[in-house]
A and B are shown apart, each in its own frame.
Chain A
């Protein structure tokens, strides 16, 4: 138990659906991250938030939309996804940017 929870753990969606992934950290951290992990590519950093402000967007397609309403919660809104977006989506948090990151268990996403 790392103090970072993610829901749902598994998600199957069609290409026309809209869904959201949720991440919550109970560690009092100020930075949160979204990563994508797939068989074809190693860990890919998608978005970084610090004090609820987005500080990095690594050329992620607009069909992925992050939201950080407060320092404890991070969402990833999904719409019009493609089958190649099927992957494990990991959330992480850290005390400050650059410190060690604590990861959630991930959401296994399958796009049909």
Chain B
């Protein structure tokens, strides 16, 4: 079946890099997404990568995609306290309309 898996928790020191990992099962994925959810808010689209790319960089964010292993990662450079949030990986599933399948979310805690 369709599945997107993430580790549930990550703690980093302010100024360090954070790496959040995700694995997915569906091989027909075209775009893969990272969403950020701050406390008390909805999910905000953070970045995305097209499946024919290996890497995408956007300021402090770097997305790496390993299609062979179906592994997606989000690296946040120079992590700040404002980066504390839940990060969701999402990939289109199979089926009639490729609905987005969300992971359980990784809670990132940034401490001084």
What is A's interface to B at a CB cutoff of 8 Å? 2, 4, 6, 42-43, 45, 48, 50, 55-56, 90, 92, 97-98, 100-106, 108
What is B's interface to A at a CB cutoff of 8 Å? 31, 33, 35, 40-45, 48, 88, 90, 92, 96-100, 102-105
Cβ contact within 8 Å between A50 and B102: no
Question: Interface SS of chain A: helix, strand, loop or mixed?
Answer: strand
Inter-chain contact total with CB atoms closer than 8 Å: 52
- Which residues of chain A are near B35, meaning CB under 8 Å? 103
Cβ contact within 8 Å between A56 and B99: yes
Task: Report, nearest first, the 5 A-B pairs whose CB atoms are least far apart.
Answer: A97-B97, A42-B104, A103-B42, A98-B98, A103-B43
Q: Which of A56, A92, A102, A105 contacts B41 (CB 8 A)?
A: A105
Cβ contact within 8 Å between A106 and B48: no
